[in-house]
Amino acid sequence: MKQRYLAVYEHRKDGYSGFAPDLLGCIAIGKTLKEIQRNMREAFEAHIAALKARSDEIPKTTMTIVHFPHPSEGHGIDHWVIEDLGISATAQVQTHRQESAER
């Protein structure tokens, strides 16, 4: 069985930060898009493995929409990348990517 989760990457001048809205506390950083994607997949795997080790329930996906703030809000983000990550029962992560650029 495969569970799908969104990963949201925010780019600022010094690199990327990422989070998974449905997996509280699952975050990552990286200098490049490739690095943040790799780090986020590792964070997903570690997060799911930790939940399983504690016999905690794996959260169901509920997040399907992400709010992108208006540039006037002064957040310093120049673009976002949304990734749809599929996690199998063995916590292997597969990815399908969509990009959203602030214009």
Per-residue pLDDT tens, the chain, 103 aa: give them.
677 888 999 888 899 999 998 999 999 999 999 999 999 999 998 999 999 899 999 888 886 666 666 666 667 777 777 777 776 655 544 444 455 544 4
Separation of alpha carbons 5 and 44, rounded Å: 9
The full set of domains in the chain, from first to last, is: 2-101 (3.30.160.250)
CB 39 within 8 A of CB 27: no
Amino acid type, 46: A
**What is the model's pTM?**
0.72
Distance separating alpha carbons of residues 103 and 90, to the nearest angstrom: 39
